[in-house]
Amino acid sequence: MTLSTALVTGASAGIGRELVRQLVIDQEMTVLATARRQDRLESLAAELPEGRVMIEAGSLADACFRNRLWDRTMKVFPQGLDLLVNNAGIGHYEAFEDEDPAMLREIMEVNLIAPMELTQQAIRHMKANGRGQVMFVSSVLGFVGLPYSAAYAASKHAVNGLVRSLRYELRGSGVRVWATCPNRTESEFHQVALGETPGEAARRAPHAEPVDRVVRSMVRAIDGRSTFHFPGRSARWVVGASRLVPTPFDWFMDRWSPGHFRAEMDRGRKQES
């Protein structure tokens, strides 16, 4: 399937920004990029060939903005939208019992409700055209748990369940729904999840994989048929181990991960102060 138009959410940094770059440069697509930060979107559009990246700034936590975004999508792509990339996502490192209820609601609104609504719109549109793809940028945490990331992991488990279900519903429709599930990737996500203000000198997550390599794998998977794609060795290892040797995997996570991630969270907040 030849794809020429895309809507990419969360395009101001990290995976989303690199996805826009590679879709435009390597796949010769025209992209509508959205994120909260207008200045970041403008700089992205300026880096790429004129007319190939259009922007729409706003928060996906706002239902009114989501409606406005879809209306804009239909206006800028009157010939049809070929690819929806549900990339935008937020997380927050905190013990679940201490998490702010407002943060819990925002995580679910951005990570789950917003992509569900956009996907509904996209499926209706794509089924009428007989073609299209919806790509979710999920996570290995859609398959396993992680201490101090309970709400984020819950949102990604829900995304993966949605993808599995839609795969059956859409069989034979010409519309493919799938998820790419990276492990830690070089981006501002780790910094923001610690409650820090993102910036050009963002402190990256330990053992993170290079974003350009992860995204290159994602873009190649657009031509594939798999329901779940794992970019990078660490993503395949984590999910593979959880499936093939679940008891040793749980033993390891139970004994190692709480102390490790608590110390990492504390180090990050200490450096911030």
Looking at the DSSP assignment, which residues form a beta bridge with residue 229?
180
- Give pLDDT tens digits for 194-207: 454 555 444 455 57
Q: What is the pTM of this model?
A: 0.89
Q: Are 182 and 15 in contact (CB under 8 A)?
A: yes
Residue 201: its pLDDT value, please?
Answer: 40
Residue 23: its pLDDT value, please?
Answer: 98
Residue 192: its pLDDT value, please?
Answer: 47
CA distance 163 to 199: 33
CA distance 187 to 198: 10
Q: How far is CA 59 from the centre of its chain?
A: 15
Q: Range of 119's domain?
A: 5-272
How many structural domains does the chain have? Answer: 1
Cα dihedral 66→106→161→143 (10° resolution): 140
Looking at 46-174, which runs of residues are DSSP E strands? 53-57, 83-86, 132-137
Tokens standing for residue 171: 């069989």
Residue 120: its pLDDT value, please?
Answer: 98
Average pLDDT value for the chain? 89
Tell me the Ramachandran region of residue 56: left when phi exceeds 0, alpha when psi lies from -120 to 50, beta otherwise.
beta
Among the listed residues 93, 148, 152, 168, the single catalytic one is 152
For residues 26 and 187, which has the higher predicted lDDT (pLDDT)?
A: 26
CATH of the domain at 235: 3.40.50.720
168 is catalytic: no
